[in-house]
Structure 1
Amino acid sequence: MKVRDIMSTKVVTVSPSTSVRDIAGLMVERHVSGLPVLNDNGTLVGMVSEGDLLRRPEIGTQKHRRRWVSFFSGVDEQAREFTKSHALRAGDVMTEQVIHVSEETPLGEVVGLMEKHNIKRLPVLSDGKLVGIVSRADLLRALAARQADPLPPPAKSDATIRAAMNDVLKNEEWAMSAMVNVIVSEDVVHLWGVIDSGDQRQALRVAAENIPGVTAVEEHLSFSLPT
């Protein structure tokens, strides 16, 4: 799937002159955790997130540095912190270096960007203009929709299930060290052998459960002795 398949196209935006108070109100009212900032030409110039509004003197959450700590932090850093916590408009609290994606970006790449940069949402641009936003919530909705799809047809035989499980053992890097024999009887997968860890055991069970036609998984596994 790609971004265009799940993105939200009705995006609430603000301008650089929008007040911090109005931004907070919009986030609460629209149940969003971040807002794109557009200039008068409709160009994306930044993002304001919940994190940008956490350190505020209005609610007593601004940073209070001890004098000796301030000595080791640069003047510029202290100035930026003051601006972020005391600014009145979006243009002064927003993050200017915005990571964005296109409508054709694969969802795997989206998740990778979210994990790498610890962000919850990504603006979607087309020809430099904002056309949508994709968030963690959109990814969860996509997952929920796929879970509601009809299940794939069951495997035709125990032999087919066994072949599919053996493919996992041969092709998944985490499984290659496992000395496991797979026996399938009446759609029940029996795993016999020696494994390295509990994580490996869990992954083997999950792999078996994902094979169409499997009704149960029985584990007969032991751990290898440390060398």
Structure 2
Amino acid sequence: MRASDIMTRDVKTVAAEATIDEAVNILLSIRASGLPVLDAAGRLVGIVSESDFLHRVEIGTAKRRPRWIEFLLGPGEVAEAYVMSHSRKVGDVMTRDVVTVAANASLSEIVAVMDKRKVKRVPVVTGDELVGIVTRSDLLRALTACRQASAPAAPLDDQAILDRLIAELKEQGFASPRTLDVTVDRGVVTLTGEIFDERQRAALICAAENIPGVTRVLDQLVWIEPFSGMTLESKTGMM
């Protein structure tokens, strides 16, 4: 899937010369947390989001550091903070360093951008033209659509289940089959052996549960704390 497959095409935008009141009203009316900002020529020049309005003088949340810190930071930093908390124009408070993706960008590329930049939305552009936006909600809808479209796989027999699970463990690398004893009987997977991090338990159970034909997973794993050698068995004994 590509950006063009899941993006929102009818994108609400705001002009750089608009007031912050206009931007806030749009955000509230469409229940969004951010808006692309366009210049007079319709080019994308920034993003304005809820976080840009957190430190405002009107609500008493403007940032103000002790004088000695302001002295060390210099007048530029102080001036910038003042504009963010006092300006009435979107262009003054928006984030200018906007990362974009092309319409043919893969979903993995988009998620990598979101992770790296810690953003909730990524504008989609063709040249200088804004053609859409991909938000976390768009990714969630894509996830739901993919899961609903997937036809249930035919159940596997016991040996095929075992082979599939061992192959998954070797590929993923979070647990070594050499420290485990896995058996399958009429769709019931029994996990026995040693793990060295409690998080491995959940991953092993998840890997087994995702195999078609598995009806139950019995957890008989023993956790060994690597430094002390202390052991701890599953609290439930089964999942």
Name 1:46's counterpart in structure 2. Answer: 46
- In 2, distance between residues paired with 1:85 and 1:216? 57
- In 2, distance between residues paired with 1:153 and 1:40? 53
Q: What is the one-letter code of the residue matched to 1:23? A: A
Change (3 A) 1:142 1:11: same
- CA contact 2:100–2:124 (8 Å) conserved in 1: yes
- Equivalence map 1:1-227=2 (5 Å): 1-176=1-176, 179-224=179-224, 226=226
- Deviations for 1:44-63, whole angstroms, at most 9, x for unmatched residues? 11111111111111111111
- CA contact 1:33–1:50 (8 Å) conserved in 2: yes
Q: Secondary structure at the match of 1:220?
A: strand
Change (3 A) 1:112 1:150: closer
- CA contact 1:177–1:195 (8 Å) conserved in 2: no
Deviation, 1:128, is 2.3
- In 1, distance between residues paired with 2:216 and 2:125? 46
- CA contact 2:166–2:177 (8 Å) conserved in 1: no
Q: Secondary structure at the match of 2:142?
A: helix
Q: What is the one-letter code of the residue matched to 1:133? A: I
- In 2, distance between residues paired with 1:177 and 1:70? 58
| TM-score, with length taken from structure 1 | 0.94
Name 2:232's counterpart in structure 1. Answer: none
- CA contact 2:168–2:207 (8 Å) conserved in 1: yes
- Deviations for 1:146-201, whole angstroms, at most 9, x for unmatched residues? 33335422333111111110012211122238611221111121111111111011
Deviation, 1:144, is 2.4
Q: What is the one-letter code of the residue matched to 2:207? A: A
> Identity percentage over the alignment?
42
- CA contact 2:156–2:212 (8 Å) conserved in 1: no
Structure 2 stretches lacking a partner, 5+ long:
228-239
- In 2, distance between residues paired with 1:154 and 1:219? 24
- In 1, distance between residues paired with 2:17 and 2:27? 16
Q: Secondary structure at the match of 2:102?
A: coil
- In 1, distance between residues paired with 2:199 and 2:54? 37
Deviation, 1:225, is 5.0
- Deviations for 1:110-167, whole angstroms, at most 9, x for unmatched residues? 1121111111100001122100000111111222223333542233311111111001
Aligned residues: 227
- CA contact 1:19–1:90 (8 Å) conserved in 2: yes
- In 1, distance between residues paired with 2:207 and 2:37? 44
Moved more, 153-162 or 13-22: 153-162
Q: What is the one-letter code of the residue matched to 1:148? A: Q
- In 2, distance between residues paired with 1:82 and 1:177? 59
